[in-house]
Amino acid sequence: MKKTILGGFSKEEYPRNKEGNLVIPLSDVVLHKLTEKNPLMDDQQFKAFKEDIHLNGQMVPVVSYRGKVIDGRHRVKALMELGRETVNLVELPNNITIAEVASKVNSLEKRRHQTPTQLAVAAYKYMIENSTTAQVAADKIGVSKPMVAKCSTISKKVGSEALEKLSMNITVFYNNRNCSSINALYSQISLVEKEEKEAMKRKVETREEHKTEDKRVNKIIDIVEEFSLEDLSYLLKLFKRTIEIKIKDI
């Protein structure tokens, strides 16, 4: 990348997105030679990959070291072909060695063979074990922050054992559904919460209807108590006659 300060990116020159990642113009991107160590996607894989970015945006930031991208050449290429102008990026510290950088690249490549669910669970575990934030854990493992947040919800609502099962590709039965991913299980949890809220709303509405009905009954009782038995008997006969007339009219 062209605009650099001490081998890194100028915090003043580049903005950050809501996740805290730098937002870099694609025209400033320079690939590090380490990106050549990992295999390229074939045409079919890249087509599907680019379509996913087109539909969902750039979910995972590219990684840079001293002003050059060490991981994310396919993301950069896809964004360029899609006509995008910027790429989201995270930086490695400038003081780590090139051997450590190479190890990081290899680690990222291994993670690419993991499912989004496995990566999300790994990030959630990292967050808990290191008492850090979801964003830090997401950046560390290479997954989106919302996926880590979903893991937190699943752990609270269903239990951490559900996360363990999903990370081992074991389906979790919840809400009469077999869920095989974080997104699938989270969707069912959200559905149950929605149904519970709607049921509670109906319960409150029913309670209010009963209160209204009780008020009407009490009002009628208060009125009736003002009449004598003779008057009530006359009123009943009058009501009966009125009803019979209405029935005949029908």
Tokens for 4, please give them: 């650099």
Q: Where are the beta strands (DSSP E) in 117-176?
A: 172-174
Q: Cα separation of 76 and 68, whole Å? A: 12
Give pLDDT tens digits for 184-224. 999 999 999 999 888 888 888 888 777 777 777 777 777 77
pTM of the model: 0.44
Enumerate residues 6+ apart whose C-beta is below 8 A from 117.
166, 167, 181, 182, 183
**Sheet of 22-25: strands edge to edge?**
22-25, 86-91, 62-65, 68-71
Q: Angle at CA 153, nearest 5°, toward 148 and 154? A: 95
DSSP annotation of 27 reads G
Question: d(Cα 73, Cα 62) in Å, to the nearest integer?
Answer: 8
The number of beta carbons lying within 10 Å of the beta carbon of residue 231 is: 11
Give the pair of three-digit tokens for residue 191. 């559905």
Q: Is the pLDDT of residue 1 over 50?
A: no
Query: How crowded is residue 137: how many other Cβ atoms within 10 Å of its Cβ?
Result: 23
Q: Are 75 and 62 in contact (CB under 8 A)?
A: yes
- What percentage of residues in the chain have a pLDDT greater than 70? 91
Class of domain 1-113: alpha beta
In this predicted structure, what is the pLDDT of residue 188?
94
3-class DSSP state of 185: helix
Kindly calculate the radius of gyration of the chain based on its CA atoms and give it in whole angstroms: 32
Q: Hey, where are the domains in the chain?
A: 1-113, 114-214
Q: Is the dihedral of CA 183, 125, 18, 157 positive or negative?
A: positive
pLDDT digit string, tens, across residues 170-181: 899 999 999 999
d(C-alpha 78, C-alpha 72), whole Å: 10
Does 61 or 206 have the greater pLDDT score? 61
